[in-house]
């Protein structure tokens, strides 16, 4: 393909496609809702589980919240191939950093690394969150390589609806239990109004003791207690 370019990132070779190809209807995207929140003892990362091809629901059980290390995680929104490659590369780089330094990478350093890699041409919107010696932090990372820290954020096609819910429900120094309820409520708002969001929820907590995935049984039970249908 004449307009195709390649980028070398360590052991990985990335093919970048021109906009008219990467934006075609055949591209598998996580048209999605992802959420990051700073809470009392760490952070919450959450997402729905739907992937789309234009107006078609392509998959209903997609992972969009990933661990990067024991103290770090990332949510993904955008082109699925780019997202999976980004996760593998950052996991590798964070692991190498920790082995060389003998200590975990800070959340800000991880966000800076992700932002620098994004400058190479990824069709993604990401949230990087985690816990380090200075506490919990969440950063949004855009496709141009910009990154901003905030107390809460949402990225993806359903983010408008999720942010409205977060604006109403978020408060500083929430407990883990309170934050899970806020995440569930925000995801429920987006999946009811955004066709690109739905089909389940993923929620992870990162605190002083490390990365923890909230069990699906617990999420489903809490949805029922809050009066929300699960998965849709």
| 152-155 sheet: strands from edge to edge | 152-155, 34-39, 42-48, 201-207, 210-213
β-pair type (152-155, 147-150): unpaired
Tokens of 170: 């978020």
19 contacts: CB under 8 Å, gap ≥ 6: none
Q: Which residues, at least 6 apart from 221, have a Cβ–Cβ distance to it below 8 Å?
A: none
For residue 152, CA distances in Å to 43, 129, 164 come to 9, 10, 12
- Residues with catalytic roles: 32
Residue in 178, 180, 172, 227 with CA at minimum distance from that of residue 202 = 180
């Amino acid at each position: 393909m004449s307009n195709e370019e390649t980028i070398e990132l360590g052991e990985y070779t990335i093919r970048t496609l021109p906009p008219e190809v990467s934006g075609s209807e055949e591209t598998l995207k996580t048209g999605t809702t992802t959420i990051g929140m700073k809470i009392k003892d760490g952070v919450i990362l959450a997402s729905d589980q739907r992937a789309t091809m234009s107006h078609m629901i392509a998959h209903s059980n997609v992972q969009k919240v990933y661990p990067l290390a024991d103290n770090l995680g990332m949510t993904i929104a955008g082109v699925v191939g780019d997202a999976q490659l980004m996760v593998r590369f950052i996991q590798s780089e964070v692991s190498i950093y920790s082995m060389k330094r003998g200590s975990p990478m800070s959340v800000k350093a991880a966000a800076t690394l992700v932002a620098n890699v994004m400058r190479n041409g990824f069709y993604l919107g990401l949230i990087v969150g985690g816990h380090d010696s200075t506490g919990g932090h969440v950063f949004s990372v855009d496709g141009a390589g910009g990154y901003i820290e905030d107390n809460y954020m949402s990225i993806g096609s359903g983010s408008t609806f999720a942010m409205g819910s977060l604006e109403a429900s978020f408060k500083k120094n929430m407990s883990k239990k309170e934050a899970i309820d806020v995440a569930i409520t925000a995801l429920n708002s987006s999946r009811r109004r955004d066709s690109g969001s739905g089909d389940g929820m993923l929620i992870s907590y990162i605190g002083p003791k490390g990365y923890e995935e909230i069990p699906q049984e617990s999420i489903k039970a809490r949805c029922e207690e809050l009066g929300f249908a699960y998965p849709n």
